[in-house]
Structure 1
């Protein structure tokens, strides 16, 4: 990886940047591409040894100026590539609770708005250091600050082992969610020193990061820590009850070989042993299609109810919200190494309905059978329809979108505007290696133009609380939705027939 490469600029050298005093101590930044950046800044104590599986604790102060030129270790995860998480040589470890701050190098008389990014990856992979999320374009264009946050993943962040804790050695639930809240508290307390406005914070994320956004909106402890929200391809229903979550935790303990002494096994297992047990768990939950065991849990403590219930009951925080999905979300998961069978198998979809609301099975399947949208059933189940439920229930202003831009290569692959494709536009990755492959047969000019427009909307929203372009708010009378494509347009109640077919579906508890 070339640390100095910006996706739209020629390579530039890294030069020393300003020193900033934080609650932990002084951090020395670097400057590149007209952006000051401070990398690997701790926002909590290392969650290691006695702090493994514990809620994040206050940052440990350091002496002298900390080097902010290097990213902190990525959370424990499988090494599947640097694009979103960990490549072969990426440093990895449990001491991962760090964040990165980027700001324009030009001075400003006024505090700048702050955008806080939570990465995706099904809560099992991802890292704030991934090249995808550098965000130099966003910072320069928006005259804003960008904060990208590491949070714990997999067993260490999203399995509910709280039932195995003791008074002497407690274990908290929702550790990854607690990490995100701790990072937002750090932003509140420190971002002014970097030139940011702690009263003008936008949280945004994609996939698991967007689930994080909609979950934080339903988490009372997070209320007041952010003022706007953007959810790109959230799956708001991928939050489960404690009974189900503790069943998954028990399965993990068995896979770890720790049934005789779960607490000791969980607190002493090596990272490789934890990852191996997680692989076994994923292979043994086939009787619950359409779920992910690593996800936030309704614990009655930090998260008192499911986000969808909170939205529909008017108890989610009523900040302005941009929320949307991509045209063919589920088709990414037909690819060999991405396959999620509930999204592509009619048999598994039928099993999912049998475990949730069997009375709706025929009604929903009838909207897809014999149509060009048959392959989109799973993506609609996981991402689109639950996002519609948020759109129609949220008490604050809502701007709804669908991302439709595709390329000839994506069309040949059969995935079109599938899950994650909007990231190229949001982060200005038009000239990245992956984008060059995806536009090898055409489409780069359209992607570049859309990137200009979507970034303008996102940063205007962060600064003013409204998108930049023509984009009416969403309501249940007109359901006006912006379609991002070669030429943007606004449609009323797109996919009405499919929406009505899903109406009343609530999913797993």
Structure 2
């Protein structure tokens, strides 16, 4: 850790923060870790052999005229700032108590652009992981117990978790906002927050023992999508060196000011939403209470997502990967075997007879229908359609990214998570969306998880978690995932190598033969027909066909 100056110690004593040791200082104050950053001096907390700093501002509060504006630098602060507690999460809507994903932060605020750091005490030049939480770009926070970074820090990583703006406050485009921008663009504020956090890491992480030239960005679900955005975003280039992408997608996104692929422009979506809110204009929307804005826009159907603006996100994600213009970094990328069980997905009702099923799939998939029916047969019932949706959104996207990075001569490590345990199996929740998270963090106890989450209770849970942590950590160190005594993880390559996480890691080739090729061909057909791709799969795509 970078130690504070004498002047800072005097200031700390004056403020009675106990941050500098004297013969009469209490033992807990002596052990308090200190760090000096561009925003001022910090005092964290010692937790065993780790130094932990929480609630560090990386950008100014996005309030007033900064609501729906690019993040601005956090003000530098004199004296010693206490960094022992998490900052509030960003404003978000409530989630039903029965939801697997009901895990709200203890408080929320627009003043939420903070990050947290877990580091081995007195480490130097350590690999860095920056975690971006999921939650559909609507919910979540960096300080949730499931995301505690202690296990990574115990393995020698400096682990950072960040908040970013959510929902309407983080992802709305609007012509008035574009006019305010020097670049003539709007939307993507949550993504710009993430980029600002990465810049903070570049400028400050050495103060915590991290190597700014060895940064891995890691995210799940909306955090994985955010990581994918960062892969294609020019402003994020050279801010990270590797990526871990857990359940992402490469679907169509709205473009700033032109309708494309059957979708309205992002600015039109913003105009319609401001009208639905009764705000009149952006000034009126800025005058509204942020929680009311968030709740009402959620109920009105606002879908937070990236905007193809020509600058932050230059073109459709799939086009960037196809042209080889994405970040040239190694990746771990994958998904869970049954993302949609039993939460469900649109259009997931299997017809009662096989002939009726075949006829409906034939009308959607044309000459691809026999292959679809081979991979997702009627005999498997609703599970066939659920897995088709999981594969078509997350599996195809993951393999597509692995293939693209491999084509650039980079390490590309594909995985499938299919570990189950008794409490999950009893609720038909094997390998559901986000179920790998407790294992990749090593936080398997009930107090670390949302209230209705099935708590891991199987004999292999700790071993699976240790394996994933070891693979992830070694990848962060040097770009190659390894775990002592466990199978070698081969790069994706022409043989479509992958690692399956069941009760133990098992290396394989071509996870589900024909699957990625089927969804690639179907997506190409959709694009050529001017339709959106990457979300409506199987019978769910019937609705889109009906609109033609």
TM exceeding 0.5: yes
Equivalent of residue 58 in structure 1, options 62, 73, 77 = 73
CA distance in structure 2 between the partners assigned to 1:329 and 1:452 by the alignment:
22
Question: Can you list the C-alpha shifts for 1:334-366, whole angstroms capped at 9, x where unaligned?
Answer: 3xxxxx425x3579xx9xx99xx8657746752
Note closer, same or farther for the CA distance 1:439–1:163 as it changes in structure 2 (3 Å cut): closer
CA distance in structure 2 between the partners assigned to 1:84 and 1:100 by the alignment:
22
Q: Is residue 507 of structure 2 the alignment partner of residue 505 of structure 1?
A: no
Q: Is residue 276 of structure 2 the alignment partner of residue 271 of structure 1?
A: no
Equivalent of residue 220 in structure 1, options 234, 250, 255 = 234
User: Counterparts of 1:333-482 in structure 2 under 5 Å?
Assistant: 333-334=343-344, 340-341=345-346, 344-345=348-349, 362=369, 365-366=372-373, 367-372=375-380, 373-394=384-405, 395=408, 396-433=410-447, 434=449, 443-469=457-483, 470-475=488-493, 477-482=494-499
Shift of 1:443: 4.6
Note closer, same or farther for the CA distance 1:385–1:224 as it changes in structure 2 (3 Å cut): same
CA distance in structure 1 between the partners assigned to 2:181 and 2:505 by the alignment:
58
CA distance in structure 2 between the partners assigned to 1:478 and 1:406 by the alignment:
27
Partner of 2:522, secondary structure, is coil
Equivalent of residue 159 in structure 2, options 146, 151, 155 = 146
Shift of 1:487: 2.6
The RMSD of aligned alpha carbons is 2.8
CA distance in structure 2 between the partners assigned to 1:195 and 1:22 by the alignment:
12
Partner of 2:91, secondary structure, is coil
User: Counterparts of 1:196-207 in structure 2 under 5 Å?
Assistant: 196-207=210-221
Q: Is the 8 A contact 2:68 2:177 kept in 1?
A: no
Partner of 2:33, secondary structure, is strand
Partner of 1:341, secondary structure, is coil
Q: Is the 8 A contact 1:403 1:484 kept in 2?
A: yes
Structure 1: any 5+ residue segments left out of the alignment? 1-12, 286-292, 335-339
Partner of 1:384, secondary structure, is helix
CA distance in structure 1 between the partners assigned to 2:314 and 2:502 by the alignment:
39
CA distance in structure 1 between the partners assigned to 2:141 and 2:512 by the alignment:
34
Shift of 1:500: 3.1
Equivalent of residue 486 in structure 1, options 503, 511, 521 = 503
Shift of 1:84: 6.5
Equivalent of residue 129 in structure 2, options 112, 115, 122 = 115
Partner of 2:232, secondary structure, is coil
In the alignment, which residue of structure 2 is the partner of 1:78?
Answer: 93
User: Counterparts of 1:94-133 in structure 2 under 5 Å?
Assistant: 94-105=110-121, 107-108=122-123, 110-133=124-147
In the alignment, which residue of structure 1 is the partner of 2:22?
Answer: none
Q: Is residue 263 of structure 2 the alignment partner of residue 250 of structure 1?
A: no
Question: Can you list the C-alpha shifts for 1:272-294, whole angstroms capped at 9, x where unaligned?
Answer: 32123222332xx8xxxxxxx21
In the alignment, which residue of structure 2 is the partner of 1:69?
Answer: 84
Partner of 1:449, secondary structure, is helix
Shift of 1:67: 1.0
Question: Can you list the C-alpha shifts for 1:55-112, whole angstroms capped at 9, x where unaligned?
Answer: 001111112111101111110002337997863x72211111110111012x23x411
Q: Is the 8 A contact 1:217 1:307 kept in 2?
A: no
Q: Is the 8 A contact 2:463 2:504 kept in 1?
A: no
Note closer, same or farther for the CA distance 1:358–1:175 as it changes in structure 2 (3 Å cut): farther
Shift of 1:376: 1.3
TM-score (norm 2): 0.79
Note closer, same or farther for the CA distance 1:457–1:268 as it changes in structure 2 (3 Å cut): same
Q: Which has the larger radius of gyration?
A: 2
Bigger drift between 264-273 and 455-464 goes to: 264-273
User: Counterparts of 1:145-184 in structure 2 under 5 Å?
Assistant: 145-167=158-180, 172-184=186-198
Q: Is the 8 A contact 1:430 1:444 kept in 2?
A: no
Q: Is the 8 A contact 2:120 2:158 kept in 1?
A: yes
Q: Is the 8 A contact 1:111 1:197 kept in 2?
A: yes
Note closer, same or farther for the CA distance 1:494–1:56 as it changes in structure 2 (3 Å cut): same
Partner of 2:244, secondary structure, is strand
Note closer, same or farther for the CA distance 1:238–1:73 as it changes in structure 2 (3 Å cut): farther
